[in-house]
Amino acid sequence: MDIFIALGIFNVFCFTVGSLTSRGVKRTAIEEGVERRTEAREQLRIRDELRFAREVQISMLPEAPPQLPWADVAGISLPATEVGGDYYDYFVVDGRLAIVCGDVAGHGLASGITLSALRSGFTLLRDELLDPAHVLDRLQEVVAHSSRRRMMVTISVLLLDPGTQRATIASAGHPPLLHVHASTRTPELIEFFAPPLGARLGDSVPQTVVPFTAGDVFVLHSDGIYETTDAAGQEYGLERLGRIVAACDGTAEEIRDTVLRDVDQFRGPAAQEDDVTIVVVRVV
Give the model confidence (pLDDT) of 30-74 as tens digits. 766 677 777 777 666 655 555 555 556 666 789 899 999 999 999
- Amino acid at the residue 32: E
d(CA 89, CA 95): 16
Largest CA distance in the chain: 116
Give the model confidence (pLDDT) of 106-149 as tens digits. 666 677 778 888 999 999 999 999 999 999 999 998 888 776 66
Average pLDDT across the chain, whole number: 86
Residue 51: its pLDDT value, please? 59
Q: Is the pLDDT of residue 5 over 70?
A: no
Average pLDDT over residues 148-168: 92
Least confidently predicted of 33-42, 153-162, 184-193: 33-42
Distances (CA, A) of 211 to 8, 85, 159, 260: 103, 31, 11, 27
Residue 144: its pLDDT value, please? 80
d(CA 116, CA 154): 15
Residue 84 CB partners (closer than 8 Å, separation 6+): 57, 77, 78, 107, 111, 275
Residue 53: its pLDDT value, please? 56
Give the model confidence (pLDDT) of 73-83 as tens digits. 999 998 876 55
Average pLDDT over residues 180-191: 96
Q: pTM for this one?
A: 0.81
d(CA 77, CA 225): 11
> Sorting pLDDT into bands at 50, 70 and 90, what band is 273?
confident
Give the model confidence (pLDDT) of 197-228 as tens digits. 988 887 899 999 999 999 999 999 999 999 99
d(CA 152, CA 106): 9
